[in-house]
Chains A and B, each alone.
Chain A
Amino acid sequence: SQKIEQNSEALNIQEGKTATLTCNYTNYSPAYLQWYRQDPGRGPVFLLLIRENEKEKRKERLKVTFDTTLKQSLFHITASQPADSATYLCALASYSSASKIIFGSGTRLSIRP
């Protein structure tokens, strides 16, 4: 069955360092992958999308890589700040079946001052 795994339930990083979150998947051939941020008591908010034919995408302090051979995406936050503390979810999707968007369980990131 299709499965997404995010590297750990929680990640604790010192402010200013780069946070790296991992998303691995099996039994799926996604057309694109998305990363969302979720704060407590709120719905997820879209951050970045990367297509299967793209290796890397950047947005301000965020960087996403996508390796379809390894079936893995890495999500980096550089110069991390306490305000970056949240849960980050990865999601896989295909063009042919929008309802088959599959979300990982998320990684809770804490940035300590």
Chain B
Amino acid sequence: GAGVSQSPSNKVTEKGKDVELRCDPISGHTALYWYRQSLGQGLEFLIYFQGNSAPDKSGLPSDRFSAERTGGSVSTLTIQRTQQEDSAVYLCASSLGGRGRTDTQYFGPGTRLTVL
């Protein structure tokens, strides 16, 4: 079946503009994650959605970052008033989710964001 898809694959924006990044998870996956990966760095956790539970937003770096997940499926990560330090690859992953089970994540190809 189809894997996790993300759009756009590349986004170049000017400092101060808002951007929206989209993630389509694997059908049936209840858990969805957003990560940020800077050049040569590991994955930085941003936010986690699990079913209808309140999302874990503990990784969002500032209040300029927000995310929502509509209908338990598609998710949008929004960055307001972008700054140059926001430049990175933003990765989305989904998994079957649920407590008490191992949770293998399936990643999308990422969106490369460049803030000029």
Residues of A within 8 A of B (CB): 4, 9, 32, 34, 41-46, 49, 51, 89, 93, 95-96, 98-99, 101-106
Interface pair A43/B109, CB less than 8 Å apart: yes
User: Are A9 and B40 interface neighbours, CB within 8 A?
Assistant: yes
A95 to B66: give the CA distance in the assembly, Å: 26
Query: B56: CB under 8 A from chain A?
Result: yes
Interface residues of chain B: helix, strand, loop or mixed (majority): loop
Some 9 contacts from A to B, beta carbons below 8 A apart, are A9-B40, A34-B104, A43-B108, A44-B105, A46-B104, A46-B105, A89-B43, A98-B98, A105-B42
* B53 nearest CB across to chain A (Å): 10
Proximity bits, B17-39, A CB within 8 Å = 1, else 0: 00000000000000101010000
The complex places the Cα of A43 from the Cα of B35 at a distance, in Å, of 10
Is the CB–CB distance between A101 and B4 below 8 Å?
no
The 4 closest A-B pairs by CB, nearest first: A43-B107, A105-B42, A99-B48, A103-B43
Complex-state Cα separation, A54 to B56, whole angstroms = 29
Please measure, in the bound complex, the distance between the C-alpha atom of A62 and the C-alpha atom of B34, giving whole angstroms.
Answer: 28
Do B107 and A106 touch (CB < 8 A)?
no
Nearest-CB residue, chain B, relative to A31:
B102
A99 and B56 within 8 A (CB)? yes
Q: How far is the CA of A105 from the CA of B39 in the complex (A)?
A: 10
Q: Is B91's CB under 8 angstroms from A105's CB?
A: no
Which one, B40, B45, B91, B106, contacts A101 given CB within 8 A? Answer: B45
Flag B95-113 by CB within 8 Å of A: 1 or 0 each. 1011111111111111000
Could you tell me the distance between the alpha carbons of A70 and B31 in the complex, rounded to whole angstroms? 31
Residue B70 CB within 8 A of the other chain: no
CA distance A61 to B55 in the complex (A): 38
Question: Smallest CB-CB separation from B31: which chain A residue?
Answer: A98
> By the criterion CB–CB under 8 Å, are B104 and A95 in contact?
no
**Residue in B31, B93, B102 whose CB lies within 8 Å of A49:** B102
Task: Find chain B residues with CB under 8 A from A42 CB.
Answer: 109-110
Nearest chain A CB to B45 CB, angstrom units: 7
